[in-house]
Amino acid sequence: MSSRTILITGGAGFIGSNFIPFFLDEHQEISVVNLDKLTYAGNLNHLIEVENNKRYKFIKGDICDASLVRSIFSENRITDVIHFAAESHVDNSIAGPEAFIQTNVNGTFTLLEAARKSWLDEGNGAKTGFETSRFHHISTDEVYGSLGESGFFDENTPYAPNSPYSASKASSDFLVRSYYHTYGLNVVTSNCSNNYGPKQHDEKLIPTIIRKALAGEEIPIYGDGKNVRDWLYVQDHCSGINDVFTNGRAGETYVIGGNNEYNNISIAQKICGILDDILPKKNGSFTNQIAFVKDRLGHDFRYAIDATKIKTELGWKPQSDFDSGLRDTVMWYINKYQKV
């Protein structure tokens, strides 16, 4: 990749802070500007490994701030965007949807407008120096709604978002799509399944299970624990994003998933099993702490991905198997929570 400056939004979040060190390492020619508002979900400690890298710069700010975004584009001569920034927690979107519409919809629109004005001329042709400029939108499989016991989501699955979170992500996907069809902006979108791994916020399922287990508290599992998710190790998502950004076809969507379907109760049991093995308790198993709690409103039953397109077109495949990825993840959080 020739010398380029990539604007990464939301780089202090879970996936972004795993992606940036990997991406800088993978492409020695590129520079990264990380624009992050540092909401409760952002954590700069997760980027310590790159903070002295000359090809990395952090800017604290809001993707909805159009004048800030425009000035970042011009002052840094931004050639590409990889857009992670979002409000991302479904439960929070049920309690307070407004921030989701603001950041996920208006924020994406603001970035698209800045990219269009910076990279395209009046006739929507590329300005000199921006011929290969690309806008990569990071999205979720939740836009496809909920599956029954069988079937998979793929790139042709009709959108059917069920939560304010997934509806806001679906809206942003459509805006991105429209900039390709209307203006010819070079966009790609990837829709990924549930990620797990280091650096995820405490509020999410896997960190919550580990944290509550270690604290000797009840491990809360929604409803009957039968809701199924398709889990992907975050580093495998990062390599998929890199493949789509680098080699994906303009205007295309790629779904990414690990083919690791587990329901929530079996995730909790697996984690408890790992903890029983690493930190055995004197008085029984960690599984005794599992407690079923009132279900999430509108809780989607099952998500599962058919990732044939990214595998066959771009040669991507996940490197981590679920059991070893989960064990590494548990080790990372033990280290984190036992330091506190």
Active site residues: 141-142, 165
Contact between 16 and ligand NAD per CB under 6 A: yes
First to last CA, the chain: 41
Which of these ranges, 61-69, 263-271, 302-310, 324-332, lies near ligand NAD under the rule CB under 6 A? 61-69
Contact between 175 and ligand NAD per CB under 6 A: no
Tell the smallest beta-carbon distance from residue 62 to ligand NAD (Å): 4
Q: State which of residues 38, 66, 68, 314 lies at the interface with ligand NAD (CB under 6 A).
A: 38
Measured from the CB atom, is 140 or 186 closer to ligand NAD? 140
Q: State which of residues 62, 173, 236, 300 lies at the interface with ligand NAD (CB under 6 A).
A: 62
Measured from the CB atom, is 24 or 232 closer to ligand NAD? 232
* SS3 of the chain: CCCCEEEEECCCCHHHHHHHHHHHHHCCCCEEEEEECCCCCCCHHHHHHHCCCCCEEEEECCCCCHHHHHHHHHHHCCCEEEECCCCCCHHHHHHCCHHHHHHHHHHHHHHHHHHHHHHECCCCCECCCCCCCCEEEEEEHHHHCCECCCCCECCCCCCCCCCHHHHHHHHHHHHHHHHHHHHCCCEEEEEECEEECCCCCCCCHHHHHHHHHHHCCCEEEECCCCCEEEEEEHHHHHHHHHHHHHHCCCCCEEEECCCCEEEHHHHHHHHHHHHHHHCCCCCCCHHHHEEEECCCCCCCCECCECCHHHHHHHCCCCCCCHHHHHHHHHHHHHHHHHHC
Tell the smallest beta-carbon distance from residue 32 to ligand NAD (Å): 14
Tell the smallest beta-carbon distance from residue 195 to ligand NAD (Å): 4
Tell the smallest beta-carbon distance from residue 283 to ligand NAD (Å): 34
**Contact pattern from residue 185 through residue 224 relative to ligand NAD, giving x for each residue in contact according to CB under 6 A and a dash for the rest:** -------x-xx-----x-----------------------
Measured from the CB atom, is 93 or 289 closer to ligand NAD? 93
Contact positions with ligand NAD (CB under 6 A) in 256-295:
none
Contact between 140 and ligand NAD per CB under 6 A: yes
Contact positions with ligand NAD (CB under 6 A) in 63-102:
63-64, 84-88
The residues that touch ligand NAD, with contacts defined as CB under 6 A, are: 9-10, 12-16, 35-39, 41-42, 62-64, 84-88, 103, 107, 138, 140, 169, 192, 194-195, 201
